[in-house]
Structure 1
Amino acid sequence: MLEIKNLTKKYGKMLAVEDVSFTIPDGQVGILLGPNGAGKSTIIKSIAGLLKFQGTVLIQQIPSREIDAKKIFAYVPEMPAMFEALTVREHLEYICKAYDVSDSEHYMEELLERFELTDKQDKLGNELSKGMMQKVSICCALMIKPKVILFDEPMVGLDPKAIKELKETIQELKNNNITVLVSTHMLDMVKDLWDIMFIMNKGKIVGEYLKKDTNDKDIDDIFFEITGGEA
Structure 2
Amino acid sequence: MNSVLSIKNLKKYYGKIKAVDGITFELYPGEVVGLIGPNGAGKSTTLKTIMGLLRKTEGEIKVCGYDYKDKEARKKLSYIPEIPDIYPMLTVWEHMKFIALAYNLDNWEKEALRYLEAYDLLDKKDELGANLSKGMRQKVMVICGLLYKPEVMLFDEPFVGLDPKAIRELKDTIRELKKEGKSVLLSTHMLDSVQNLGDRVLILKAGKLIYEGTLEEVMEKAGPNGTLEDLFLEVTK
TM over 0.5: yes
Length-normalised TM-score, structure 1: 0.96
Retained in 2: the 8 A contact 1:24–1:196?
no
Residue 35, structure 1, aligned to residue 38, structure 2: yes
d(CA) in 2 for partners of 1:215 and 1:42?
28
Alignment of 1:73-152 (within 5 A): 73-152=77-156
Query: Could you say what secondary structure the match of 1:22 adopts?
Result: strand
Corresponding position of 1:171: 175
Letter in 1 for 2:48: K
CA apart distance, 1:213: 2.6
Residue 6, structure 1, aligned to residue 23, structure 2: no
d(CA) in 2 for partners of 1:138 and 1:215?
30
CA apart distance, 1:162: 0.2
d(CA) in 1 for partners of 2:179 and 2:229?
25
Letter in 2 for 1:35: P
d(CA) in 2 for partners of 1:119 and 1:160?
19
Structure 1 vs Structure 2: percent identity of aligned residues? 46
Corresponding position of 2:187: 183
Deviations 1:130-182 (CA, angstroms, capped at 9, x unpaired):
00000000000000111111000000000000000000000010011101000
Corresponding position of 2:26: 23
Unaligned runs of 5+ in 2: none
Unaligned runs of 5+ in 1: none
d(CA) in 1 for partners of 2:232 and 2:17?
25
Moved over 3 A (4+): 214-217
Retained in 1: the 8 A contact 2:195–2:215?
no
Between the two proteins, the alignment pairs up a number of residues equal to 228
Deviations 1:83-129 (CA, angstroms, capped at 9, x unpaired):
11100010011011001111101101111101111001111010010
CA apart distance, 1:202: 1.0
Query: Could you say what secondary structure the match of 1:191 adopts?
Result: helix
Residue 154, structure 1, aligned to residue 158, structure 2: yes
Retained in 1: the 8 A contact 2:218–2:228?
no
Length-normalised TM-score, structure 2: 0.94
Corresponding position of 2:63: 59
Retained in 2: the 8 A contact 1:17–1:43?
yes
